[in-house]
Structure 1
Amino acid sequence: MIELKELSKVFDTGKGSLKAVDDVSLSISSGEIFGIIGYSGAGKSTLIRLLNGLEKPTSGSVTISGQNISASKGQDLRKARQKVSMIFQHFNLLWSRTVKENIEFPLEIAGVPKSKRNARVLELVELVGLAGRENAYPSQLSGGQKQRVGIARALANDPEVLLCDEATSALDPQTTDSILELLVDINKRLGLTIVLITHEMHVIRKICHRVAVMEGGRVVELGDVLTVFQAPQQEITKRFVAQVTDTEDSNETIKHLRELYPTGELVKLIFVGDQTEQPILTKLIRKYPVDINIVHGNISHTQRGAYGTLIIQIKGTQPEIAQALAFLNEESIQTEVMA
């Protein structure tokens, strides 16, 4: 569906050249929700602009549905862009137009007859949950409603790809979740391929099938979201995963417990998928003469299944603790003794 090959983008600045995207190669399947995460300056915004032809690569190529976007010009590029829509962090609505008029704007530009425009707008208003608000102006809408208008407008020309540029960054957590749920619903109903960029791992966890982690213009880690949560390889990825799996309170608790209980081991357990529903600790306590103290626990749900972390203190003799850890490993529970 989307193929990036050795993609690079260099900007000339007054102080020299800046490589914003550095030799990126990856494939995105049709119907996939693909996340690109990175901190400011990682190159993710430039990458998404390369996807819709707003930027031309210095080298490499962008191919969408068999068409080389990076080499297209004029009418061919305009046609290609109709199949690649985009929603933005700050909505970019026309404030002098109603909800209905904002949604039908791209259809006007495309020369769609008024009768067909009206039918399409009503369909999209229903799809994004704005029935009854067709005649409202942006100033009369909440942030979440404005983003729903932006999504409906982006879907007007029946695109194959929807690009989301920090689409929930300006929203509160509850509204963010409702917009993410809408994107998942649209993905399932329409089979739409969605590519989103963000600096929030919560967004990736909530809706993405796969994720690319960017740093310094390069993709430093790429994989299924559940796999990345289970075993992040790069330090930057570990920091992102910690956004939704660790808390300062747990770190303080661990420090406090180390002071109170100098014996035993503090162990972090990682559960994936069906493991999160199994009584592993009950089995452990029944089988071995160890004491278990639960310090901190958290379960996150991804599109591919659940991911849970549990920090426990195991008290007993060293042989007993070793047997307990061996049992957990036999049960395919990933363990990490916390130093």
Structure 2
Amino acid sequence: MISIKGLRKVFTSDNRKINAVDDLTLNIQEGEIFGVIGYSGAGKSTFIRLLNRLEEPTSGSIEIGEQEITSLNTRDLRKARQEIGMIFQHFNLLWSRTVKDNIAFPLEIAGVAKQEREKRVQELIDLVGLSGRENAYPSQLSGGQKQRVGIARALANKPKLLLCDEATSALDPETTNSILDLLVDINQKLGLTIILITHEMHVIRKICRRVAVMEKGKIVEQGDVLDVFSNPKKPVTKKFVQQIMGETDEAEDTEKILATYKEGKLVRLHFIGDAANESLISKVIRKFPIDINILQGKITQTQSGGYGTMFVQLKGEEPDIQQAIEFIQSETTVEVEVVRDVQ
């Protein structure tokens, strides 16, 4: 487990102190993919650089496994860093070296014998899907391929922890998804703990189970991704959720729906978790003699399940409609809210 307590980083600029990371406390479980999200200036990049002491903390403690990182001397820190891999937004590759030589670089520094080094490099090339590109130079690679080299290089010394600093921000959406799939694959195959920082909520949604939201150096909200998505408490978290759900004004949408549909019972369904994957509408139609007209809705998936809202119009005899609503409320986890009864 990674245990971070009271972590603080203060920079001084023009005789003014800036709390880049402010009294941050966080626990991350071994083997999980943990997301940290925040807008530019939130302190997330400083935070991740504190974890391997690329930035020296002003105060606080960082414990990775049973090792107190903040108390290590230079020699012990160098050794500890071999178990902490890191990938960057702009790849940070050595442009005069080939793919295999970039991946081999940390092994050379660690003094690994040539034969063992070559074997390890080939294993990593196969793992990240770069077979056939071993002798290419970074200038000959796409953005996604460069990041795959960066990931392979970060894994060279068989780390227990992988830090991802905006690892997909420089990539197009399709390439981003392929890199995220690769990180999930690596997490599952190697049991590697991954801490991923980003300003993109869809990245968190796709591969993380837990997330911490940062603002002005502090963690303002944290928890299971599904819980944070479905019930955001802070304004900054609500803005991130809008990245996924779209810039919608639910009150305005409700008024438009009410103005358009003048008959039947108008109902808002709230889906959270496994309920979002159920074939609810078809199940209700088969069970009760009513018509259901889907008016508007959006369901978004996370690693822990889906969430979202759907507006529907229920038409039929009042007793049948009421039985259908009671069935949904009693037999599923879908929340039902009657917006207007215009029978």
Deviations 1:293-322 (A, max 9, x none): 323333333222333432335579999988
Deviations 1:96-148 (A, max 9, x none): 11001110011111111111111111110000000000000111111100000
Instruction: Give the match's secondary structure for 2:146.
Output: helix
Whether the aligned pair in 2 keeps the contact of 1:53 and 1:70 (CA below 8 Å) is: yes
Q: Does 1:273 align with 2:274?
A: yes
Whether the aligned pair in 2 keeps the contact of 1:52 and 1:69 (CA below 8 Å) is: yes
| CA distance in 2: counterparts of 1:235 and 1:318, whole angstroms | 40
Deviations 1:161-202 (A, max 9, x none): 000000001111110000000000000000000000011111
RMSD (CA atoms): 2.9
Whether the aligned pair in 2 keeps the contact of 1:2 and 1:65 (CA below 8 Å) is: yes
Whether the aligned pair in 1 keeps the contact of 2:268 and 2:309 (CA below 8 Å) is: no
Any gaps of 5 or more consecutive residues in structure 1? Answer: none
| 1:259 to partner: Cα distance | 3.5
Aligned positions of 1:204-283 closer than 5 A: 204-246=204-246, 256-261=256-261, 265=266, 267-280=268-281, 282-283=283-284
| CA distance in 2: counterparts of 1:285 and 1:321, whole angstroms | 13
Q: Does 1:162 align with 2:162?
A: yes
TM normalised by structure 2 equals 0.88
| CA distance in 2: counterparts of 1:47 and 1:97, whole angstroms | 30
Identical pairs, percent: 59
| 1:57 to partner: Cα distance | 1.7
Aligned positions of 1:162-181 closer than 5 A: 162-181=162-181
Instruction: Give the match's secondary structure for 2:93.
Output: coil
| 1:282 to partner: Cα distance | 4.6
| CA distance in 1: counterparts of 2:37 and 2:318, whole angstroms | 42
Whether the aligned pair in 2 keeps the contact of 1:265 and 1:315 (CA below 8 Å) is: no
Instruction: Give the match's secondary structure for 2:233.
Output: coil
Instruction: Give the match's secondary structure for 2:5.
Output: strand
Q: For residue 24 of structure 1, what is the amino acid of its counterpart? A: L
Deviations 1:72-101 (A, max 9, x none): 121011111111110001111111110011
Distance 1:16 1:282, change over 3 A: same
Instruction: Give the match's secondary structure for 2:124.
Output: helix
| 1:324 to partner: Cα distance | 6.7
2:87 is aligned to 87
Distance 1:298 1:185, change over 3 A: same
Aligned positions of 1:11-22 closer than 5 A: 11-22=11-22
Task: Using the TM superposition, name which of 272-281 and 136-145 deviates more.
Answer: 272-281
| CA distance in 2: counterparts of 1:240 and 1:334, whole angstroms | 23
TM normalised by structure 1 equals 0.89
Distance 1:271 1:247, change over 3 A: same
Whether the aligned pair in 1 keeps the contact of 2:10 and 2:21 (CA below 8 Å) is: yes
Q: For residue 176 of structure 1, what is the amino acid of its counterpart? A: T
Aligned positions of 1:1-339 closer than 5 A: 1-246=1-246, 256-261=256-261, 265=266, 267-280=268-281, 282-283=283-284, 292-313=292-313, 328-330=328-330, 331-335=332-336
| CA distance in 2: counterparts of 1:15 and 1:224, whole angstroms | 40
Instruction: Give the match's secondary structure for 1:132.
Output: coil
Task: Using the TM superposition, name which of 314-323 and 73-82 deviates more.
Answer: 314-323
| CA distance in 2: counterparts of 1:280 and 1:18, whole angstroms | 53
